[in-house]
Every structure is written in C-alpha cells, then in structure tokens.
Amino acid sequence: PIDGQRLWNTLMAMAEIGPTANGGSCRLALTPEDAAGRRLLLDWCETLGCTWRVDQVGNLFIRRAGKRDDLEPVATGSHLDTQPRGGRFDGILGVLAGLEVFRTLHEAGIVTERPLELVVWTNEEGSRFAPAMVASGTYAGAFTVDETLGRRDADGVTLGEALTACGFAGDLPVGEPRLDGYLELHIEQGPVLEGAREAIGVVTGVQGMRWFDVTFTGRSAHAGPTPMRLRHDALAAAARLIDRLQALALADESGDTKVTCGCLEIAAASRNVIPGEVRLTVDLRHVAEAELDALQARFERELAAAGEAFGVAVSSERLWASPVVAFDAECIAAVESATRAQGVPHRRMMSGAGHDAVYVARVAPTAMIFVPCRDGISHNEAEYATPEHCALGAQVLCDALLARANR
C-alpha cells in the first residue's frame, strides 16, 4: 500500500515553489518556478535510481526499469505548471502520485515486468501558451514540433525560447518513447463526486472544447460629447456577446453546454474614451461533438449580431479544437477493478476539463482516475483535495499500473 502521509508531505513541499498570497501556487509553464518544480521532482526520483530524458518540447520522461526493458513502458503522469492563481493539486497530484508509486515499489523491492514511466507534460494549462495540453498534443502528433516551439506568450516570448531559458530544452525526438498504456490521476475540478459523496471517478472520456480569439473593432471617441447613437463602442459589443452567450448556456437544461470568456483586453483603455478595440477569448465545451458544432454556429451568429447592434466590426479566429474523446475500454476496466477492490462508492464519468490524457489517448491505450475536490473548485487558490482522497487515488493508480505492467 502507498504511504498517504508521504504523498501529502510531497504535495505540500511542491506547493512551496511559487506560492501565492492565498495558499495557492503560481508556476506558469517554463518560468523559473516551473523549472524549480521539475528539478525538485528529479532530485526525488534520482534517489530512487530512476533515469530521465527530455524531449524537444520539454516533456520529461522519468523511467523506473522493469524486468523486460525491451518492452514498451506503462506510463503515468500529468503536469506541474499552474494557472496564474492556481491550486496545489491540479496536475501536481497526478505527477506526485506517480512518484509515490515509484517510492512504494522501491521500498517493497518490487520490479515490474514492463518498465514504468512517469511523465511531466509541458504547458498543460494553456495559460501562458495557448492551447492547453500543447506538448502532449505534439507528442501525439496533433501539432508539429516547429508549430509548438513557435507558440508565443502574451509578451511575445516563444515556447522554444522559454524552454531554453529555463533549461528544459531536450533532444529526445518527440513521440518517443512509445507507451504501452497511460493512466492519469487528477482531481475532478468539478462538483459531481463531492455532491454524490463518491470517492473515485472512473473517467471514460473528455468533453470537446474549442478556443477562439475574438476581436471587436469600433472607433475610439470622447465619452462626453459623442452621442450614444453615433458611437462604435467595441466594449459594448463585447458585453452584448458575453451576455448572450451566458444566456444560451444557462438555458440548456441538460447543463452540458459550457461557455467561458476568460480574458478581455481594451486597447489603449482610458476612463473617458469609448473603447475602439477589444480582444476577447471564448471557450466553448460540450460532451457531444454535434452539439459543439451547433454551439459554435450559435456563437458565430451572436457575435455577428453584437457587432451589428453597436456598429462594430467583428472577427474571430478558432485557435484550438479538441474533439470529444472516448478512453480505452481495457484501461477503463483496469481502473474500475482497482477501484472496486477499495470498496468505495464510485462512478463512471466524463471529464469536463482537458488533460494530457486527451492527446496521449491517440497513440496509447489510456484512461483516467478522478478524486473529488472541495466545492468542485479548481483554477483557484482555494483548490483542495483531502489527504484521504489523494491517497485513495494514488492507491488505485498504483494497483491499475501494476496490473497493466505485469499482465
């Protein structure tokens, strides 16, 4: 059995890198903080005799040798980067639970048939560089290496430059090593398990998501003498769109339509200037691909209508589309039977958040394990999962990994 207290201490030690004012973490991808988190993990793994490699987009592969090192490894992992005011568990739990599995096997002197691989994927959050899961996506062939290295953050720094600056530009060809299977533990980041008093979610797939950059181009003018009816107020048009998108998502009784506008920027903003140009991000999600198509079409109609209503030119660029994913039946079954062995209430469920498992599923049999988080809150400094749930998730991960590595 894994050591829940040790896992918890390890989570809290990682949270000391890039701490935020209200008990969260800030380790934006490929910043000095992110690099410090990776080095701390590597220190821990080296004492276990693990070896490691870094691929060309910074994905970190930490290997625990097996009896048959000629076979493809069974992998687990997640990410160590966070949101600007993120929590201590999102991603981190998946990585450190993998470490806890390694430590447990090390102490017990167990060597698996297949090698095990603990993976730290680069820039999962999508906060510094869009889109999310960009490096696991590159690993799986969804993006080219050049495309990914050329992605820019808000300050114009490329992902490639940031990789070099933080010391994690590797030379392992992207796509290596190939994996026999991939299991990822994560907090749910939503309220379903907590609400149902269930301890484990056996994740069967992930909802689809699409990201848009929207631009509203009106005309800046003076707030005082400019008549309301002669204005071309870019912010008024953006507000209309946001309000309509909220209304249509809230109107979906099923609750499956999700719309979020996370960033809004006014060019050369000033209190007494009618905004002339606004940039807005839109995140659309749905568990069914056809409904997501319909949602996108409605978004585009509402955008055109908002522009028309305020005499503002609009344009939108779809910069990411991640289709609905179904995980591998055998991997799901492995997670489910490891969960049953714990005798805890659980359910099969779809994930509302994107995870590296989304892309890895394209090239290796994959499934995920969820544990509840308090009030369903994530991407927030207040994010919290109990030590008991973290330990339970790590135990299910350990058992499912062993079953696959020794099958």
Ligand X SMILES: NC(=O)NCCC(=O)O
Told to check if 341 binds a second copy by CB under 8 A, we report: no
Q: Given candidates 126, 201, 307, 372, which one binds ligand X under the rule CB under 6 A?
A: 126
The angle formed by the CA atoms of residues 122, 125 and 129, to the nearest 5 degrees, is 75
Q: Decide whether 51 or 270 has the Cβ nearer to ligand X.
A: 270
Window 165 to 194, contacts with ligand X (CB under 6 A): 189
Instruction: Single out the segment in contact with ligand X by CB under 6 A; choices: 15-23, 110-118, 124-132, 289-297.
Output: 124-132
Q: Give dist(CA 34, CA 52) in Å, integer.
A: 17
Q: Decide whether 109 or 227 has the Cβ nearer to a second copy.
A: 227
Window 196 to 215, contacts with a second copy (CB under 8 A): 207, 209, 211
Instruction: Indicate the SS3 state at residue 338.
Output: helix
Q: Decide whether 132 or 287 has the Cβ nearer to ligand X.
A: 132
Contact of residue 257 among ligand X, a second copy, none (CB under 5-8 Å per partner type): a second copy
Q: Given candidates 109, 255, 317, 343, which one binds a second copy under the rule CB under 8 A?
A: 255
Type of residue at 133: M
Told to check if 220 binds a second copy by CB under 8 A, we report: yes
Instruction: Single out the segment in contact with ligand X by CB under 6 A; choices: 99-107, 109-117, 163-171, 347-355.
Output: 347-355
Told to check if 371 binds ligand X by CB under 6 A, we report: no
Q: Are 25 and 18 in contact (CB under 8 A)?
A: yes
Kindly state the smallest distance separating residue 132's Cβ from a second copy, in Å.
Answer: 7
Asked whether the CA dihedral 161, 167, 171, 176 is positive or negative, the reply is: negative
Kindly state the smallest distance separating residue 58's Cβ from a second copy, in Å.
Answer: 20
Q: Decide whether 92 or 306 has the Cβ nearer to ligand X.
A: 92
Q: Give dist(CA 250, CA 253) in Å, integer.
A: 7
Q: Give dist(CA 100, CA 116) in Å, integer.
A: 13
Q: Given candidates 192, 196, 333, 363, which one binds a second copy under the rule CB under 8 A?
A: 192
Q: Give dist(CA 237, CA 18) in Å, integer.
A: 37
Told to check if 28 binds ligand X by CB under 6 A, we report: no
Q: Are 274 and 233 in contact (CB under 8 A)?
A: yes
Can you give the C-alpha Rg of the chain in angstroms? 22
Contact of residue 1 among a second copy, ligand X, none (CB under 5-8 Å per partner type): none
Told to check if 349 binds ligand X by CB under 6 A, we report: no
Told to check if 111 binds a second copy by CB under 8 A, we report: no
Nearest one of 22, 1, 5, 2 to 13, comparing CA atoms: 5
Site string for ligand X, 202-231 (x = CB under 6 A): --------------------xxx-------
Q: Decide whether 169 or 245 has the Cβ nearer to a second copy.
A: 245
Q: How far is CA 320 from the centre of its chain?
A: 14
Kindly give the interhelix angle for 329-342 and 387-405, rounded to the nearest 10 degrees: 130
Contact of residue 238 among a second copy, ligand X, none (CB under 5-8 Å per partner type): a second copy
Told to check if 137 binds ligand X by CB under 6 A, we report: no
Site string for ligand X, 268-297 (x = CB under 6 A): ----x-------------------------
Q: Give dist(CA 157, CA 150) in Å, integer.
A: 9
Told to check if 235 binds a second copy by CB under 8 A, we report: yes
Strand pairing partners for 223? none
Q: Are 397 and 101 in contact (CB under 8 A)?
A: yes
Instruction: Single out the segment in contact with a second copy by CB under 8 A; choices: 124-132, 289-297, 384-392, 395-403.
Output: 124-132
Instruction: Single out the segment in contact with a second copy by CB under 8 A; choices: 66-74, 172-180, 219-227, 331-339.
Output: 219-227
Count of positions on this chain that bind a second copy (CB under 8 A): 73
Q: Are 61 and 52 in contact (CB under 8 A)?
A: yes
Kindly state the smallest distance separating residue 270's Cβ from ligand X, in Å.
Answer: 9
Q: How far is CA 278 from the centre of its chain?
A: 27
Q: Are 358 and 325 in contact (CB under 8 A)?
A: yes
Which H or E run includes 378?
A: none
Query: Which phi-psi region, left, alpha or beta, contains residue 268 (left: φ > 0; alpha: ψ -120 to 50)?
Result: left
Q: Give dist(CA 163, CA 322) in Å, integer.
A: 24
Told to check if 354 binds ligand X by CB under 6 A, we report: yes
Summarize as ranges the residues that interact with ligand X (CB under 6 A).
90, 124-126, 132, 189, 222-224, 272, 353-355
